[in-house]
Amino acid sequence: MNTQIPALSVNKLTKTFDVSAPWLNRMIERRPKLFVEAVSDISFTVEKGTCFSIVGESGCGKSTVARLVTGLYETTSGDISFGKGAGGRPIRVQMIFQDPHSSLNPRWRVGDIIAEPIREMKLRDKETETQDRVRELLETVGLSADDALKFPHEFSGGQRQRISIARALASEPELLVCDEPTSALDVSVQAQILNLMRRLQKELGLTYLFISHDLSVVRHMSDNIAVMYLGKIVEKSAVEVLFTAPQHPYSKLLLATIPDIENPARRVEAQAGEPPSPLNPPSGCAFHPRCPLAMDICRQERPKLQDLSQECQVACHAVS
């Protein structure tokens, strides 16, 4: 599927949030303004028809990237550009959210939820055509056409996530941004949704930007992976490269600590340390306080993402 046509290119993307105390408090207590750099100077390209995943722990900025790409946040600096889609217009983007309970309006019927983007973007001329499209979409995601008349509360978590996917597909997107689409679901239902997403990718030629903290899911879905730590990409590799030979010490730590059901009771050495606060990031390489390979240069200079091979880029002084 590797056609080498970029669907999405992100270049030097940075997003800072103003987390200052209210103006009056700042004046009285003489405190300065406070900013958090949630995403800091990251670049990546997603090729058409592939799945690019971003993994990392909570607070590393992976969901912020998803929201920046879909335009839910404005960028602070850097740019996001979309490739050409069908008919020469820019690629359409849609998003699937994590929690299928709060992302569907409980007062709307499922049919209206899915029809809204079609009506809003005037993708069909007549109402009957819209209804036909809704029925078709419901069947595509494995629900029955009659479900259009029901309300979201009548469905289980997995079925609601199918409804979210149908709604996302309604505007005929070519790039789907999926922010933890299965982490609110049970394992047996998660498998159903992952299989559905893979099938849709094949049938509709979709491109995925997949955000997750679950490495086994990421391994199943993706072609390329970026590992994020405290707002920066520390390693960017093809999936097989990352899982067989992780380079960055943080990727190694992540892979070593995830429980492996195929090797029960292997008694891993739990590594000490926790992700630092993004408000007060460590100097140099943000990972150096936890890193077993940390050297003097790691404390002073922030490493750049460098090519290690064609399929692997690492930001680490000790490795490259």
Task: State the residues that interact with other proteins by CB under 8 A.
Answer: 57-58, 156-159, 186-192, 194-195, 198-199, 213, 215-217, 219-220, 239, 243, 253-255, 257-275
Closest contact distance (angstroms) between CB of 259 and other proteins is 3
Please, which residue, 14 or 216, has the CB nearer to other proteins? 216
Tell the smallest beta-carbon distance from residue 80 to other proteins (Å): 27
174 in Cβ contact with 85 (< 8 Å) = yes
Nearer to other proteins, 126 or 267 (CB): 267
- Two structure tokens written together for 239: 């999936």
Residue 150 phi, psi (nearest 5): -90, 170
**80 or 196: CB nearest other proteins:** 196
Work out the end-to-end distance of the chain between its first and last CA atoms, rounded to an integer number of angstroms: 30
For 48, the 3-state DSSP assignment is coil
CB of 267 to other proteins, least distance (A): 8
125 versus 262: smaller Cβ distance to other proteins: 262
Report the nearest approach of other proteins to the CB of residue 215 (Å): 7
> Backbone phi, then psi, for 273, in 5-degree steps?
95, 155
| Shortest distance in whole angstroms from residue 192 CB to other proteins | 5
Q: Is-contact 166 138, C-beta < 8 A?
A: yes
CA distances from 102 to 113, 160, 211 (A): 13, 10, 18
Least distance to other proteins, CB of residue 96, Å? 18
Token output for 283: 């100097």
Q: Which is nearer to other proteins, 170 or 184 (by Cβ)?
A: 184
| Nearest-approach distance from CB 118 to other proteins, in angstroms | 28
Residue type (1 letter), 209: L
Contact 275, 291 (CB under 8 A): no
Tokens of 161: 């996530």
Contacts of 40 (CB under 8 A, 6+ apart): 14, 61, 231, 232
Q: In whole angstroms, how close is the CB of 178 to other proteins at the nearest point?
A: 15
- Name which of 205 and 273 has its Cβ closer to other proteins: 273
What backbone phi and psi angles, to 5 degrees, belong to 175? Answer: -120, 125
Give the contacts of 77 (CB within 8 A, at least 6 positions apart). 12, 13, 14
Strand partners, 235: 227, 314
Decide whether 132 or 260 has the Cβ nearer to other proteins. Answer: 260
Cβ closer to other proteins: 89 or 153?
A: 153
Sign of dihedral through CA atoms 153, 123, 221, 315? negative
- Starting at the earlier edge strand, list the strands of the sheet with 6-18: 35-47, 6-18, 77-82
